[in-house]
Structure 1
Amino acid sequence: MHELTLNKQLYERIKEEISHEFINSNMPIRGELIAPRIGITANSNEKLGSCISRAYSDAVVMAGGVPLLCPITDDESVIDEYIESIDGLILSGGDDVLPYYVGEDAAKNVGTVAPERDRYEFLILRKAVAHNIPVMGICRGHQVIALAFGGTIYQDIYSESKDQPINHNPPFDRSHKVHAVKLTHEKSILKELLSNGDGDCRNVWVNSVHHQSVKDIPKGFIETAVSSDGLNEAMEAYPEKSIFSVQWHPEQMIRGNVDKERQLKLFEYLIDEARLYHRARAIHKSVLVVDSHVDTPMHFKEGFRFDIPSDTLVDLPKMKDGYVDAVLMAAYIPQGKRDKISLEQATKQAISLLEGIRRIVGENAEKLVIATSPEAVAFAKEQGKKAIMPVIENGYAIGRDLSLLRTFKEMGVGYITLCHNGDNDICDSASKSNNEHNGLSEFGKDVVREMNRLGIAIDVSHAGDKTIQDVLKISKAPIIASHSSVRAICNHPRNLPDELICEIASKGGVIQVCLYSGFLNEESKKATIKDAADHIDHIVKLVGVDHVGIGSDFDGGSSLCGCRCEADLIRITIELIRRGYSKIDLRRILGLNLMNVIGNIQQIGSFLMPFDN
C-alpha cells in the first residue's frame, strides 16, 4: 500500500482564507469512557446555522456512542478543542464542495455550496488524521476524504461520467433502497461488516442521494464497493489509517428500519475503533511515552525549526499529536575511514550534532527540555513539556580516545550505540562486517568498562552477535538494544536471536522493537503495524513484558504502513490494546522499561565511579 498523504495544495487554498490569530488551550484529561464521544460535522443552513439530521446522532446512540455536533467555525483553536473532546469523527452529507478549493472550474450542474463548511471540514479532518482519530465519511463526507488525500470527484456524474450512470438521486424517501453495490475487495473491513458472515455480497442494496461521486481513489486507499455503473461507492485506508467512507446514507436506512442491522454495523465499527482510540489516548496522557531512537538531528539544516510541522518524521507538533513525551535523539555518525584525520572529523561531527540538539531545545525552551535522566523526563511531563535525551549512534565518534566518553557524558549523552554498519575500533557490526575483532576489540572492552563507570548506557543495536555476547560477559550494568527487532520472525542480521534476547533480559536489559519495515517482515513492502506488534508479542512471551519497548528509528529510514511518524506511535498502542495488553503492560512497554534500565545504569555508574578510577 502506498503511503497515505494529505493534499497540501488543498490546505494551502483553505489557509489563505482563514485568520491565523488563534489562542492555544488545553482541555482537561478525561478518564476512560464506556461510550466514546463521536464528533459529527455540521451542515450549513442559512436560517438555522450549524445543524444536522437527527438520523446521524440516533445511529451513533444506537451503536453505543455519544454524539457531539461540531458547529461550523473558522477558528482553528476551536477545532483543536473539538479534536481533544472527541474519540471518533463522522463527516456527514450535505452541499457540494466549492470547486475552487480543489483547483477546478465550476461544472455546469454543480449544486449549492457552503465554502465556510468546506474550510472547517477539511481542517477538522486534517487534525483528526494527525491525531489518528478514527474517521467515517458519509456521502459528501466520502467525497471530502477523497479530495483531502489527493483524489478527485465528479462534480456532476450525469454530465461528466463517460458511461451512462444509473439514477443516483431519485425522488424516493431517503431510507429506500435505490441500487445494489458490489463489495470489491476480498479483505476489506466493509466486506467483513456487510457480508453477513457468509461472504455473500450480491444483495447489498443501498439508498442513494447524490449527484457527485468519487472519481479517482487517493493513494493509500482501497476501493471497497462500486455500483452497477462502475461508480465508486466506498473506500478505506486500513491498515494505514483508521478511515473508511461510503457514498450512501446508512443513517437514513437505519432511521427507516431498512436493512437496519447490517447498516448499523458501520457505526458499531466506528464506535469500537473510537473506544480503542480513547483508551490509547488516555494511556498516553497518563504514562511516560518514550521513543528510544530517532535520527532527526541529521536533518537539522540551516533554518530548520522543530516547533512547526516539517518534513521530518519527528517534530514538536507530531510529538504533541501522538502524545509522545520524550525521544532519545541520536547524533548519528556513518562509519568511515579510521585514520587519524577521519576519526577527528567523526568526533567533530558528533559534537556538532549534539550542539544542534541543544540549539533546537534552546529555541523552544517553553516547550522542550534536555533530559539527561529518567527523573528529568518524568519532571518534563509534569511540567507539560516534551523531553529530548541526546544519544550517539556509532562509537566511531570516540575513535580510539577513551577520554571522549567523559566529554560526551558531560554533554548529556544517555547511551552510545557501539557501532553502525561496518566494523570500527570498538567492535564488529551485524552488517558489512569483516569480523575484524571476533566481537569486542581490547579497546572495546575498555570502552564497555568506562561506559559502565560513567553511567552511559551501552546500546548493542547494529552490533554483531559475538560482540553482544562479549558485552554481556564484561558489562557490570544492564545493556539496551535501542532499535532492534526479532530474528525468529524476520531473519535479518540486524535483528536479535532468541538466545541473545533472553541473555539481555536476564541481566536486566531491554529490547526496543525497531519500526523499520525490512526488520519486521522479510517481505518489507507488506510490513504493517501488526508486524511490529508481533515482534513485541514474541519478546513478551519469551522474556516477559518488563524487557521490551519501542525504538522507531524515525528519520533514519523507517517507514512502516500505519506508523509513518512520531504522531503515529499511538497506533501501535491501539494495536496492543486490541490484542489484550493492559494499561500496566503498556505503561512498561511505552517507556517505563527503558527508563528503569537507564536509571539502573546511571545508579551503577554513580556507585562505580568513586572506586574505579
Structure 2
Amino acid sequence: MADLQDELHDPPEVHEPPVPRTGPYVPRGGPDPQPQPSAHAEPDPGAGRADPLERAYALLGRCPVADGYSGLPRALRELPWYDLQLGESAVDTDVPRLRRGRVGALFCALHLPEGLASDRALGATLEQLDLARAVVAAHPEGLRLARTAGEVLDARNCGRVAVVLGPATAAALDGSLAVLRVLHSLGLRVLTLAGTSWASEAGLTRFGEEAVREMNRLGVLADLSGASDATIGRALALSRTPVLATRSAARALRPHPDNLPDGLLAELGAAGGVCMVPLAAEQTGPALRDVADHLDHVRAVAGPGSVALSGTYDSGAAHPQGLADASGYPHLIAELLDRGWPEPDLALLTWGNVQRALRTADFTARAAQERKGP
C-alpha cells in the first residue's frame, strides 16, 4: 500500500525550510561544455525554465535523497549530550540540516573502529545498534526507524527522515548465521562483506556463500565496498537481490582501494546493483565538481539505474568543498542539472535506485521464507 501511495501522492512538505535564495546558481569553476543529452531518457522539456538550484529543490521535494552511509552512531558516542532536533554543531548531521539537504532516508553505519579485538565485534555492533535505535526514539518529530521499503516511504510521506540500520561489519557474525538472524530481528538491513576469513581476498568460502543466501532469505542487503574483487564477483553471481556498494566511486578517475574499476561497475549495473558514490574528498576529489565527475562516470558505465549517493558524514572523512554537511545535496543536484542530467535520471539517483533495491530485497525475502526456513 505504501508503494501505491508513493505513486499517487507527493510527500507533504512538513517542516521543510524555504528554499534559500542567494542569487542565481553559478556553476563552480565556470560554465561547463555544452551538456549532452542522456542516452537513457528523453530531454527534459522543463530545461531552461528555471535556474538549476531552484529546479534542484523542486526535484528533491518529490524525490528526496536516500543517503547510503552515515557514521552518526559512532560520532554521537563521543558526545556527553546532544539534540539533533534543534541542531548539533558537534556533528555533520542533524534534523535541520537533513531537512535543508532534502534527505528522506539515512543509512546509519554500524562499522567498527579499526584495531578492535575480534571477540569484541559483536558486542560493539550491538552497542552501536542500540544507540542508533535510542537516537531515533529520542527524536520522533524528525526521525523514524524503517525496516522495509514500505516503512521508508511511510516515513517520507509523514515528513520524517527514515533511518535504516546498516551497513554493519561482517565480523560481527562471528561465523554464525544465528547471529545474522538476531541482528536482522533488531533491524539490521545491510551487511558489509569484507574483513573476515569467509569474505577475503580469496573470495567467499562455503560459509560465506551460505551467509549470502541467508541474507537474501532475510532481506539483508550485501554491501561490497571494501571487498576484494573475488568476493564482489562471487556475490554478484550468487545474490538474488540487488547488492550495494555503499562507499564506492570510480577507480578510473581516482585510484582508491574502495573505488570500483569499470569492469566491476559494468557487472554491478548488469546485476541491478547500486554504486553509492561517497561525498569523501579522498575517494572523489576536493571539489563538488569532482563528485559530479564520478557520478557522470558511474552513470555512463553502470547505467542510470545503478548509481546513488552516500554522504559518509560523521565517518571521519574529509568532504569536498561545498558539501561539508548533509545540507549540501541541492547544490550537487543543481550541478548535475547544469550538466544536462534529465530529471528522470536524477530521481533514480536520489531516491529511486535505493528504493528499488530495498523493495526487491523485501519481495525476495518474503518469497524465500515461504519456501524454506533458516
Q: TM-score range by the shorter chain?
A: 0.7 to 0.9
Higher relative contact order (CA 8 A, sep 6+): 2
Q: Which residue of the other structure, out of 64, 70, 77, is the alignment partner of 1:294? A: 70
Alignment of 1:99-498 (within 5 A): 275-301=51-77, 302-307=80-85, 308-336=87-115, 342-419=117-194, 423-428=195-200, 435=201, 438-498=202-262
- CA apart distance, 1:609: 2.1
For the 8 Å contact 2:82–2:88, the answer to whether it is kept is no
Alignment of 1:593-608 (within 5 A): 593-608=353-368
TM-superposition CA deviations, 1:6-36 (whole Å, max 9, x none): xxxxxxxxxxxxxxxxxxxxxx96xxxxxxx
- CA apart distance, 1:418: 1.6
- Alignment partners' CA distance in 2, 1:418 and 1:336: 18
Equivalent position of 2:3 in the other structure: none
Equivalent position of 2:294 in the other structure: 535
- CA apart distance, 1:479: 0.9
- Alignment partners' CA distance in 2, 1:407 and 1:355: 13
Equivalent position of 1:88 in the other structure: 21
- CA apart distance, 1:363: 0.9
For the 8 Å contact 1:289–1:324, the answer to whether it is kept is yes
Aligned-partner SS, 1:538: helix
TM-score under structure 1 normalisation? 0.53
Gaps of 5+ in 2: 1-11, 32-47
For the 8 Å contact 1:346–1:397, the answer to whether it is kept is yes
The one-letter code of the counterpart of 1:334 is P
TM-superposition CA deviations, 1:60-86 (whole Å, max 9, x none): xxxxxxxxxxxxxxxxxxxx99x72x6
For the 8 Å contact 1:314–1:555, the answer to whether it is kept is yes
The one-letter code of the counterpart of 1:315 is D
Aligned-partner SS, 2:231: helix
For the 8 Å contact 1:329–1:388, the answer to whether it is kept is yes
The one-letter code of the counterpart of 2:88 is P
The one-letter code of the counterpart of 1:297 is P
The one-letter code of the counterpart of 1:88 is R
Aligned-partner SS, 1:470: helix
- CA apart distance, 1:610: 2.9
For the 8 Å contact 1:426–1:444, the answer to whether it is kept is yes
The one-letter code of the counterpart of 1:487 is R
Equivalent position of 1:554 in the other structure: 313
TM-score under structure 2 normalisation? 0.85
CA 604–134 in structure 1, closer or farther in 2 if over 3 Å, else same: same
For the 8 Å contact 1:293–1:329, the answer to whether it is kept is yes
- CA apart distance, 1:510: 0.9
The one-letter code of the counterpart of 2:294 is H
- Alignment partners' CA distance in 1, 2:302 and 2:175: 36
The one-letter code of the counterpart of 2:108 is M
Aligned-partner SS, 2:167: strand
- CA apart distance, 1:345: 1.8
- CA apart distance, 1:562: 1.6
- Alignment partners' CA distance in 1, 2:138 and 2:20: 33
The one-letter code of the counterpart of 2:342 is S
How many residue pairs get matched?
340
- Alignment partners' CA distance in 2, 1:336 and 1:473: 31
For the 8 Å contact 1:87–1:277, the answer to whether it is kept is no
Gaps of 5+ in 1: 1-27, 30-79, 91-132, 136-186, 193-271, 429-434, 522-526
Aligned-partner SS, 1:282: helix
- Alignment partners' CA distance in 1, 2:93 and 2:208: 32
- Alignment partners' CA distance in 1, 2:22 and 2:311: 28
- Alignment partners' CA distance in 2, 1:320 and 1:596: 23
Aligned-partner SS, 1:403: helix
Equivalent position of 2:5 in the other structure: none
- Alignment partners' CA distance in 2, 1:592 and 1:558: 27
Aligned-partner SS, 1:88: coil
- Alignment partners' CA distance in 2, 1:473 and 1:386: 33
The one-letter code of the counterpart of 1:540 is R
The one-letter code of the counterpart of 2:124 is Q
* Structure number with higher helix proportion: 2
- Alignment partners' CA distance in 2, 1:548 and 1:464: 20
- CA apart distance, 1:487: 0.9
The one-letter code of the counterpart of 1:318 is R
Aligned-partner SS, 2:81: coil
TM-superposition CA deviations, 1:289-318 (whole Å, max 9, x none): 210111111012332322223221111111
- Alignment partners' CA distance in 2, 1:566 and 1:541: 26
- CA apart distance, 1:541: 1.4
Equivalent position of 2:304 in the other structure: 545
- CA apart distance, 1:336: 4.2
Aligned-partner SS, 1:463: coil
Q: Percent identity of the aligned residues?
A: 27
Equivalent position of 1:516 in the other structure: 280
TM-superposition CA deviations, 1:330-381 (whole Å, max 9, x none): 11113546xxxx4442111111111111111111112210011221111112
Alignment of 1:8-27 (within 5 A): none
CA 335–426 in structure 1, closer or farther in 2 if over 3 Å, else same: farther
